[in-house]
């Protein structure tokens, strides 16, 4: 027997148990992702990246916004989600046959959704694919990543290029004046919630008679 074994540090039973629990949870999460029952469109299937100012909506909020978009778009309608991936995911979960949807997003992880993913950088608001024709979406849902007038103004250029008319904007309550200025939208009564509580109060804004009041 090697006496050197006595010099190897040993984890306490409590630490070892906690470590084993962590690895087990990690394996279960990965197992879910690879199992047939895993829904790649569920909120949280792609984790938030705070470095990109990403904050996912709660399931209830995403569901409410998705259903509002479907009604607003109408039968056979086209919906564009600009920097609003959790609404896109919920729309795909609805698995509707009477509407189509695409996602414009800076985070290339969402390219896993195939042709419906369009790389988008708000700093180049009209740098869009040629096949993305102007005024070709019945409603545009947008959630600019930053609470600044510059970000809102540039995102507004994209929104106005894409939409036939209807706009559903989600941003901070402090952006109410700028939202009206750049997009002609008004604040709704509905208050969106996020998976994690944010310091800034968020609100929804529309330019049409919506079900969010």
Residue 45, phi-psi category: left (phi > 0), alpha (psi -120 to 50), beta (remainder): alpha
Under a CB-based contact definition with an 8 Å cutoff, are residues 209 and 186 in contact? no
Tens-place pLDDT, residues 55-92: 778 999 999 999 999 999 999 999 999 999 999 989 99
Residue 205 has pLDDT above 80, yes or no: yes
C-alpha distances in Å from residue 198, one per residue of 22, 42, 134, 138, 187: 27, 21, 34, 30, 19
**The pLDDT of residue 109:** 84
Separation between Cα atoms, residue 81 and residue 180, nearest integer Å:
20
Q: Would you say residue 152 has pLDDT above 70?
A: yes
Q: What is the per-residue pLDDT for 50?
A: 44
**50-206: what fold?**
Rossmann fold (3.40.50)
Residues 136, 163: Cα–Cα separation, whole Å: 6
- Distance CA(56)–CA(47), nearest Å, equals 9
Query: Where are the domains positioned within the chain?
Result: 50-206
Show Cβ contacts of residue 208 under 8 Å, excluding neighbours closer than 6 positions.
Answer: 72, 165, 166, 167
94, containing H or E segment: helix 85-94
pLDDT bracket for residue 19 (50, 70, 90) = low
Stretch among 5-9, 35-39, 113-117, 206-210 having the lowest mean pLDDT:
35-39
Q: Write out pLDDT tens, residues 79-138.
A: 999 999 999 989 998 877 899 999 999 988 888 889 999 999 999 999 999 999 999 999
């Amino acid at each position: 027997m090697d006496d050197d074994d006595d010099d190897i540090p040993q984890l306490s039973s409590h630490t070892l148990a906690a470590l084993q629990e962590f690895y087990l949870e990690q394996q279960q999460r990965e197992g879910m992702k690879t199992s047939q029952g895993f829904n790649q469109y569920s909120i949280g299937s792609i984790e938030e990246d705070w470095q990109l100012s990403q904050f996912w909506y709660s399931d209830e909020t995403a569901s409410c916004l998705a259903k509002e978009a479907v009604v607003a778009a109408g039968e056979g309608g086209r919906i564009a989600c600009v920097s609003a991936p959790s609404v896109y995911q919920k729309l795909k979960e609805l698995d509707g046959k009477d509407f189509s949807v695409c996602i414009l997003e800076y985070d290339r992880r969402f390219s896993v959704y195939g042709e419906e993913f369009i790389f988008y950088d708000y700093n180049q608001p009209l740098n869009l694919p040629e096949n993305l024709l102007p005024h070709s979406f019945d409603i545009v849902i947008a959630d600019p990543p930053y609470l600044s007038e510059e970000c809102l103004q540039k995102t507004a250029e994209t929104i106005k290029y894409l939409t036939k008319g209807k706009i559903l904007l989600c941003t901070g309550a402090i952006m109410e004046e700028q939202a009206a200025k750049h997009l002609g939208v008004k604040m709704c009564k509905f208050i969106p919630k996020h998976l994690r509580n944010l310091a800034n109060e968020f609100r929804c804004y529309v330019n049409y008679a919506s079900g969010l009041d």
